[in-house]
Structure 1
Amino acid sequence: MFRKNCYSCNRPSFSSSKEGQWLCPVCGEDLTKQKVHHPDKMTQIMRTQNTQRYPNNTLIKYH
């Protein structure tokens, strides 16, 4: 399964194929030319982006 992120509505879009026309299911934006992300790799990226360390090294995780 593959994922693209819509820059118009900021929602993820998933497909079993990275080929062909790809429209956002939420707002209809054409995502065909956007980079395809593999969900397994996105999980690690999202974990990194959804965390923040404060000065005392306390880890805060956003859901």
Structure 2
Amino acid sequence: MSVRTQVRPVSTPSDVAELCTLMVEPESTVTDPPLPMPNAAGGLALLLGLLISPSTPKEPRK
């Protein structure tokens, strides 16, 4: 059978003061997520890709 002894944690006044500041510290405000900014190079690449792509095939006449 094991014997347990009660151990009281030792804290210094500076530890108590730091803990109090953490408990009193206000929470940061929640903001909206960053919005994506349009990129001119991406739009240009898309336009260039559309211009270079082959046209849709047409059905042969019978």
Same fold, TM exceeding 0.5? no
Whichever structure has more strand as a proportion of its residues is 1
What TM-score comes out, normalization by structure 2 length? 0.30
Whichever structure has more helix as a proportion of its residues is 2
Structure number with greater CO (CA < 8 Å, separation at least 6) is 1
- Return the index of the structure with the highest Cα Rg: 2
